[in-house]
Amino acid sequence: MQKYRGMMLFMAALVLPLSACMTEDTVSQEDSKQMEQATPVAPVEAADAADTVGAAESLAGSAWWVEDINGLGVVDRSRSTIGFGEPGRVMGSTGCNRYQGTLEANGSALSFGPLAGTRRACPEALMNQEQKFFAAMAAVVSWKIDPDTGLLHLYNEAGDSVLRAVRLAADESP
């Protein structure tokens, strides 16, 4: 009986620290749900996006921190960014790896070309987020900056917001 208790204590000592490490993703999902409820975004027609902000040139030179991917939030303390640098170029971070590529913009229409990135290995949650980030970027067909919040919304063909981002300060790099 004494041996059994010792073994149970040993197992508990191993399992409890591991289970504490596994809660970060769950907390992130809960925070994401709260964020989604706090700032709901209605679908937008591509034609409506042009009314809010003029030509796509207004994105040039700006950098954005992604706070939502497909309405599911992002991993806590991750830093996925989108930077619109030289005309026709995009660069940033997925929260794990750096990327760069091309873009085509015409008014409210926006699409990203192939994106090339570094190949670092990161925790599984960040790697999963990176895949979702790249899939969302590939689906983008239009954009809009919300006049009330200043948030950048990138939309897919169905008019769903696939990425939502906050403008970075001028001295912050993407």
| Residue 5: inside a domain | no
Amino acid at site 129: Q
Find the Cα–Cα–Cα–Cα dihedral 53, 57, 62, 64, rounded to 10°: 50
Phi and psi (nearest 5°) for 114? -60, 135
Q: How many domains does the chain have?
A: 1
Res 143: pLDDT: 97
**Positions of the chain with pLDDT lower than 50, given as ranges:** 4, 7-55
Q: Tell me if 115 sits within 8 A of 99, measured CB to CB.
A: yes
In the three-class reduction of DSSP (H, G, I as helix; E, B as strand; rest coil), residue 54 is classed as coil
| Residue 63: inside a domain | yes
pLDDT digits (tens, 9 = 90+) for 124-169: 999 999 999 999 999 999 999 999 999 999 999 999 999 999 999 8
| Residue 47: inside a domain | yes
| Residue 156: inside a domain | yes
| Residue 88: inside a domain | yes
| Residue 71: inside a domain | yes
Res 51: pLDDT: 41
Res 172: pLDDT: 76
Query: Rounded to whole angstroms, how far apart are CA atoms 106 and 146?
Result: 18
**Domain interval for residue 131:** 38-167
Res 77: pLDDT: 80
* CATH number of the domain within which 62 lies: 2.40.128.270
Query: Rounded to whole angstroms, how far apart are CA atoms 104 and 5?
Result: 65
| Residue 18: inside a domain | no
